[in-house]
Amino acid sequence: MKTRKLTSSVLLVLAVAACSPKVETRTDVSDAASPVADFQSEHAAWVKQRAEELSKPDGWTSLTGLHWVEAKKQSVGGGEENAIRLAIAPERLGEVEQRADGLYFTAAEGVAITADGQPLQGAVLLKPEGRGGGTRLAYDAGKGQITAIKRGDRLALRVRHADAPARLNFGGLDFFPADEPWRVQARFVPHPAGKTLPIVNLIGDINENPNPGYVEFEKDGRTWRLEALGDPAKSLNLIFQDKTSGQQTYGVGRYLHTDAVAADGTVTVDFNRAYNPPCAYTAFATCPLPPPENRLAQKDENGQVVRLAVLAGEKKYALAQH
């Protein structure tokens, strides 16, 4: 009798299970994150981050002036009587002076200015921007900022303000649709140690830059090469022009950074992440220009010049003022 009851219970459970909706466990390929989806989402995140960097209160769109300093005392401020007149600033901000040991700034009486976050009292030596940073003056409750830059033997004041028209009217970025075939696998070919490459900037200065080698890649049935700057163990810097320059893309050219070169000498060159230099957004930048070797041009078998059109990366900036 006991055995019969147990059997009836089991049958009851089986009957209920048979009448219940089935819950299937399966892996739908469409639900899984595909490599293509990952590529698109990563690219979109990168573009978003780049736009945020440009439009920060002290980003490139916040520049309001680049003022070359003469070898004498010069008054600085927003008033017409100043030797260096700032676009957005109090009537009189202070005074700048070149001395034997560098460029000094002295605040005008009653004007609140900080130097690297500390209230400025007396004169301060303005260390130029560079890898070690640089002295940063702040005024107008921090919305205005002044740094010094050195180009060749010349010094200048680079001025930013959070209320710069270029920043307030920033129109966002325009990119070609992300296209994975433009993420090419290249080969890094090293140069002899110590080789340099002369790079001209927008104001005509020439600087010798370490040129560790070049990258070589295949596209449109041809082999192309770009001379590289930077450190292969960390990242290569590529400055280039192509057939789209001055048409769909910024005329000066575009920049591109890679990851470190792999142990086997390969490196990924993602042209989807080619971006405009700062001078595409402001007239107050001194951008390095692409060297002649990096114009992505070559002659075909008939001696005719063939250029690669890189239909990837950032396009012209629509609200450029120059």
| pLDDT attached to residue 132 | 77
Q: Tell me the pLDDT band of 194, cut-offs 50, 70 and 90.
A: very high
Burial 272-283 (b: 16+ CB within 10 A, else e): bbbbbbbbbbbe
- The tens digit of pLDDT for each residue in 101-159 reads 999 999 999 999 999 999 998 999 999 998 878 999 999 999 999 999 999 999 999 99
Of 231, 213, 214, 245, the residue nearest 309 (C-alpha): 245
* Residue 94, pLDDT above cutoff 90: yes
Q: Tell me the pLDDT band of 317, cut-offs 50, 70 and 90.
A: very high
- Domain borders along the chain are 60-164, 180-307
pTM: 0.85
Q: Which two tokens stand for residue 291?
A: 């060297």
Residue 212, judged by CB atoms within 10 A of its CB (0-12, 13-18, 19+), counts as buried
Distance CA 105, CA 120 (A): 10
Report, as an integer, the average pLDDT of 45-56: 97
| pLDDT attached to residue 2 | 39
| pLDDT attached to residue 37 | 86
Contact 186, 84 (CB under 8 A): no
Contact 317, 174 (CB under 8 A): yes
State which CATH number among 3.40.50.2000, 1.10.3720.10, 3.30.1780.10, 2.60.200.20 fits the domain covering 60-164.
Answer: 2.60.200.20
Mean of the per-residue pLDDT values of the chain: 90
Assign 3-state DSSP to the chain and report helix, strand, coil percentages, each to 5.
20, 35, 45
Helix (H) / strand (E) element for 277: namely none
